[in-house]
Amino acid sequence: MIPPLWKILFAYLYRRPWQGALGVFGIALGIAVVMAVQVAQSSARRSFEAAELTLAGMATDRILGVSGHLPEALFASLCLQEPELKASPVVTGHVRGGDANPRWLRVHGLDPVSAVGRITTTQAADTGLPAFLLGQAAGVASGSLLRSLGSASSMPVTIEGPGGSVSVSLHSLRETDANLILPEDLIVLDIALAQDVLGHSGRLSYIDLVIHDDAQGDALRARIRKRLKAGFELRDLRGDRVARQDLGRAFETNLTALSLLSLMVGFFLVYNTANFLVVQRSVLFSRLRALGVRRREIFGGILMESAALGALGGLMGILLGLLLARFLLGLIAGTVGNFYYTVSATEPELTVPLLAMLWSLAVITSLVAAVPAAWRAARVRRLTTRSIAAPTLSWRLPLSLAGVLALSALLFHRIAAARLWVDFAAMSLMLVAVGLLVSPLMPTLSGMLARRLESPRWWPERLGAANLSRADNRSGVAAAALCLAAAVSLGMQVMTASFRDSVDRWLGQLLRADGYVSAPESLPTPLAEASLASLYVELGRYPLLSAISSVLQRERSSSLGMLAVTAYELPAQARDGFEFLSGNATGIWAHWEGEEVFIASESLARRHGLTPGATVTLETDHGAQTFTLIGIYRDYASERGTLAISRQTSSRHWQDSGYSGLGIYLREGDEWHKVRDKIRALAGEQSGIRLRSREEIRLLSLAIFDRTFAITRVLGLLALLVSLAGLVGALLAQLLERGREYSVLRALGCSRVDLARVLSCQTLLTGMLAALVALPTGATLAWFLVRVINLHAFGWTMDMVFPPSLFAGMFVSMLAAATLASPYPALRLGRIAPAQALREE
C-alpha cells in the first residue's frame, strides 16, 4: 500500500506546489542562516589557523627575548649543548617594498632547512623551498601580495630595510595546497637575507622548537629554562594558540545562537505548512481511512512528505547559505580583524561533514515539526464529512509546561552559573515558555474584545475577533513565532542600545584629553612607537600644552599566561578618567608610580578572579617580578582585559622607549585646531601622524561599535522576515478551513470589503497580541543578555537603558507586518464564490 500513498500525497503537491513552498522556504532560510554562520566562522578560524600552521605549524615552544630579540650565539650554543633538539631560528622585521607603490611589508626570515612550518614542504617556482631561498636574493609571498606589488611571479621587487636595499625575486607558493596561507603583507626570506636587509646582524627574533610531550621532552624544557638567562623565556606556543582561540569563542557563540533562532523559526514554518496541508486534505484522509489505509501509514506518509520537503529545503538552504556565507565572512572579517586576529579573505570551504550535517538538520527539523500534524491526520475518523476541528486548548497544559520550563531555566542558572552555554539554554527555555503562553492567551483576549463589540456596525470586526477566540492554535502558533522573533530582535536591540549607551558614557568619562595622537596605521609598530617617542620629546621642549598623557601597549608573559599590559603616564586630569569599581581612587594614585602595583580592567579581573591584593608575576628584562593589584576599573576596550601599570613602573622593569599613543591637554583658552596644526608642524608634514579631538575619537569608537553589531541586526531582521512568512501561512491555512463559512457570508450578501474587514481584524489582533507579549519579553531578554550572558561572556557590567523609541518602533513594525500579511489572503478570500456554499462536500 505504501508507494501509492506517497504518490497520492505527492500528486497533490505537484498540482499545487506553492502550498508546500512555504515550508520549503522556511527550512531553506533557517538552514541557510545556520550554514552561513558556521561556514563563515570556520573559514575565518581556518584562515587564521592556516596562517599559523604555514609558518610555524609544528613548533611547540618558542624562545624569546623579553626585549624583543636574542643573540644568535644563543641558538648555536643551544644546538651544540642539546644536539637532539629540533630548533629553527626566525628573524622578523619590516621593510618597504614595491617599486611602483612602496608599502610596508613584514619580513619573516627562516631557515628552510630546519623550519617547522608547513611551508617547507611545498615548492616555489617548481623547486623546493630551500633550493629557492638559500643563498639567493629570493623570497616567497602570497599571490595577492604579488599582485598588489604589481609584480608578476618571480619578477624582481626592491625591498628596503634598515640594513639596506635589495632586489628580490618574489614567488608565490604552489596553489594546489589550500592549507598554505601566507598573511597578505608578509614575505618569507632566507634568514641570512633577512638579517642583511633588516640590519639585524647577529640577532634573532625568536627560536621555534619542537619538543615532544613526554618525560624526556619535559626534562629538555627544564634544562633549557635553566640555561636561559634573565630576559629570555621559553614559551609554550600551544597554550597561547588555545587562549587566542577562546577569545573569539564568545563572539562566535552569539552568532551561533542567532543562527539557531532562525532555524527555530523555520521549524515553525514547517509546522504551519504541515498542518495546513493536513487540513486541506482532510477529506482525502477520511476517504483513505475508509478505504482501509491504516493510521500508521497515514502518519508515516505525512512524515515522509515533510521529510521530502525538508530535504528539498535543505538543498536550497545550502545553496542560499553559500551566498550568505560570503557576505557574512566579509562582515565577520571586519569585526574579528578589529578585535581578535587578522583574517585573510578566503573562500568559504565546504566539507562533506558540514553539508551532511546541515542536510540532516533540515530533514530532521521537518520531520519533527510535522509530527503533530501527522498525528492529527492519522486520527481522522472514517467517513467524516466535517473538516478537522481545531483542538480546544485549555490554559492548564501550556501554563504548567511554561512553568516547568521557567523553573528549569532558573535551576540551570543556579546550578551551573557562569557557564555560557547554560545561560543560553536557560534563556531558550524561557523563550519557549513564553511562546507556549501566547497560544492560549490569544483566544482569551480576542474573546474579551469580541464581547465588547456590540454595535452591528462592527459586526465584521466582532466576527474576526470571535474567530480568533475559537482556541484555534494555528494562528496561535504563528503568533508565537512572530512574538518570539520580535522579542529576540527587540531584546538584542535593547541590549545593543544599553551597551552602546554604556560605552558612550564610559568614553565620555574616559576621554579626558582634548585630543589624541597616534601614528599612521600603515606604519609598523616599532616605527610607530619610535616616531611618537620623538614627538613626545619635541612636545616637551615647547610650552605648548598644559599636560601630556601617554600609553604604551605590550603583550607580556605572566603567571596568568599572555596578558595585555599597558603602561600609562597619567597627569592629574587624566586620572579622573578612570572609574574604579573596586579600590579607592586616592589610595590607588598614591601608590601608583612608586610601587610595584597594577590596576586591572574589569574583564581581566573577572576572568581570572582577581581582587585587590592579588598578585601577578610578569617576565621582565631582569627576570620575573611580582606586582600587586590595587584597583579594578571599568573598561570596554577589550574583552580580554588589560593589566595597567604606570609608565614609571614600566621603565623600571622594561627597556621600552616608544609610545603607542599620546593624549594632549590644552592650556586654558587654547583652541584645538590651532594647537593641532602646531603639533603637526612639529612632527613634520611627512610623518602622517593622526591627531584627533576627543569628540572625533568618541564618534570613531561608536562607529566601530555599530559596525560590529551590524551582524546581529541583519540576523534579527532575517528571523523577523521568516516569522512573518509564517503568519501569512497560518492565515492561509485558516482561510481554507473556514472557506465554507466565508462563502456562506457571501451568500448572505456580505460584500468583499466586509470580508476583508473580518480578515484584517484577525491579522491585526494577532499582530497586536504578538507585539504586546513581545515587548515585555524583549525587555526581559535584554535584561538577561546584559546582566547574565554578556557578563559571563565578556566580563563587563553595563547599565541598562530601555529606549522608548525601540519599543514603539517594534510595536509599529509588528502591526505593519501583520497588516502586510493580509493582502494576499484577502485576495484569495475575495475570490470565494458564494455559490460554494451550496455545494455539498
Partner 1 sequence: MNDASSPLAALPAVVARGLTVRYPPETRAVLSDLDLEVMTGRFVAILGRSGSGKSTLLNLLGAMEPPQEGSLQVAGKDLAGLDEAGRTLFRRQHLGFVFQSFNLIPVLDVHRNVALPLALNGLEDGQRVTELLAALGIDHLAQRYPETLSGGEQQRVAIARALAHRPALVLADEPTGNLDQETSRQVIELMKQVLAREGTTLIMATHSEEAADSAHEVFRLTGGRLERRP
Partner 2 sequence: MRKRHFLGLMALPPALWAFHRLRHGPPEPLNPLQSLLSGEAEAGFARVLGPEPFMFPRDHAAHPDYRHEWWYFTGNLLSPENDAFGFQLTFFRFAIAASARPSASAWNTRQAMLGHFALTDVNQRRFHAAQRLDRPALGIAGMQDTPARVWIRDWQAHHVATLPEVWELEARGPGYGLKLALTTTKAWVEQGQGGYSRKGPGRSNASRYYSGTRLAAAGEVTVEGTPMRVAGLAWLDREWGTSALAPGTRGWDWFGLQLDDGSDLMVYLLRQEDGSPSEFSAGSHVSGTGSVVALAAPDLAMEVLETWTSPHSKRHYPARWRLRIDSLGLDLRIMPRVADQEWEGLVRYWEGCVRVEGTRAGKKLQGLGYAELTGY
Residues of the shown chain interacting with partner 2 in the complex, contacts defined by CB under 8 A: 3, 6-7, 10, 72-73, 75-76, 79-80, 83-84, 89, 111-114, 118, 120-123, 126-132, 134-137, 176-179, 190-193, 195-196, 201-202, 304, 308, 311-312, 315, 350, 352, 355-356, 359
Smallest gap from residue 760 Cβ to partner 1 (A):
17
Q: Pick from 744, 768, 800, 820: which binds partner 1 (CB under 8 A)?
A: 744
Rounded-to-5 percentages of helix, strand, coil across the chain: 60, 15, 25
- Please state, in angstroms and rounded to a whole number, the distance separating the CA atoms of residues 332 and 312: 29
For residues 118 and 179, is the Cβ–Cβ distance under 8 A?
yes
As separate numbers, helices (DSSP H) first and strands (DSSP E) second, the chain gives 28, 23
Q: Which stretch binds partner 1 (CB under 8 A): 158-166, 185-193, 237-245, 748-756?
A: 748-756
Q: Pick from 682, 747, 772, 815: which binds partner 1 (CB under 8 A)?
A: 747
Question: Among residues 73 and 448, whose Cβ is nearest to partner 2?
Answer: 73
Q: Pick from 286, 439, 467, 723: which binds partner 1 (CB under 8 A)?
A: 467
Q: Pick from 470, 606, 608, 634: which binds partner 1 (CB under 8 A)?
A: 470
CB-based burial of residue 687 (10 Å sphere; 0-12 exposed, 13-18 middle, 19+ buried)?
Answer: middle
Q: Which stretch binds partner 1 (CB under 8 A): 87-95, 278-286, 671-679, 828-836?
A: 828-836
Smallest gap from residue 386 Cβ to partner 2 (A):
30
Site string for partner 1, 754-783 (x = CB under 8 A): x-----------------------------
Beta-carbon contacts of residue 498 (< 8 Å; ≥ 6 apart): 782, 786, 798, 799, 800, 801
Smallest gap from residue 270 Cβ to partner 2 (A):
17
Any contact of residue 416 with partner 1 (CB under 8 A)? no
Place of cell 643551544: 78
Quick one: CA dihedral 318, 323, 326, 332, positive or negative? negative
Q: How many residues does the chain have?
A: 841
CB-based burial of residue 530 (10 Å sphere; 0-12 exposed, 13-18 middle, 19+ buried)?
Answer: middle
Smallest gap from residue 82 Cβ to partner 2 (A):
9
Q: For the residues of 321-350, what is the DSSP string, one character each?
A: HHHHHHHHHHHHHHHHHHHT------PPPP
**Packed helices 739-747 and 710-737: angle between N→C axes, nearest 10 degrees:** 60
SS3 530: helix
Any contact of residue 463 with partner 1 (CB under 8 A)? yes
User: Beta-strand (E) ranges in 176-274?
Assistant: 186-190, 203-204, 206-210, 232-236
Question: Among residues 653 and 738, whose Cβ is nearest to partner 1?
Answer: 738
Question: Among residues 166 and 563, whose Cβ is nearest to partner 2?
Answer: 166
Which entry of partner 1, partner 2, none binds 469, CB below 5 to 8 A by partner kind?
partner 1
Q: Which stretch binds partner 1 (CB under 8 A): 21-29, 434-442, 451-459, 531-539?
A: 451-459
SS3 709: coil
Q: Pick from 396, 457, 541, 831: which binds partner 1 (CB under 8 A)?
A: 457
Question: Among residues 187 and 471, whose Cβ is nearest to partner 1?
Answer: 471
For residues 475 and 730, is the Cβ–Cβ distance under 8 A?
yes
Q: Rule CB under 8 A: which of 604-643 touch partner 1?
A: none
Question: Among residues 75 and 458, whose Cβ is nearest to partner 1?
Answer: 458
H helix or E strand, kind and range, residue 111:
none
Instruction: List alpha helices for 235-294, DSSP H.
Output: 237-280, 282-291
| C-alpha of 626 from chain center | 36
64 strand-pairing partners: 206, 233
Beta-carbon contacts of residue 121 (< 8 Å; ≥ 6 apart): none
Which entry of partner 2, partner 1, none binds 7, CB below 5 to 8 A by partner kind?
partner 2
Any contact of residue 839 with partner 1 (CB under 8 A)? yes
Q: Pick from 60, 282, 469, 518: which binds partner 1 (CB under 8 A)?
A: 469
Which entry of partner 1, partner 2, none binds 749, CB below 5 to 8 A by partner kind?
partner 1
Q: Pick from 750, 756, 770, 793: which binds partner 1 (CB under 8 A)?
A: 750
Site string for partner 1, 704-743 (x = CB under 8 A): ------------------------------------xx--
Question: Among residues 101 and 455, whose Cβ is nearest to partner 1?
Answer: 455
- Copy the grid coordinates of residue 732: 492561509
For residues 89 and 233, is the Cβ–Cβ distance under 8 A?
no
For residues 516 and 697, is the Cβ–Cβ distance under 8 A?
yes
Q: Which stretch binds partner 1 (CB under 8 A): 263-271, 429-437, 771-779, 833-841?
A: 833-841
Instruction: List alpha helices for 593-662, DSSP H.
Output: 602-608, 647-653
Any contact of residue 383 with partner 1 (CB under 8 A)? no
Smallest gap from residue 108 Cβ to partner 2 (A):
14
DSSP-derived secondary structure letter, 786: I
For residues 637 and 600, is the Cβ–Cβ distance under 8 A?
no
Which entry of partner 2, partner 1, none binds 122, CB below 5 to 8 A by partner kind?
partner 2
Instruction: Compute how many residues bind partner 1; rule: CB under 8 A.
Output: 29
For residues 362 and 311, is the Cβ–Cβ distance under 8 A?
yes
Residue ranges that bind partner 1, judged by CB under 8 A: 450, 455-457, 459, 463, 466-467, 469-470, 740-741, 744-752, 754, 833-835, 837-840
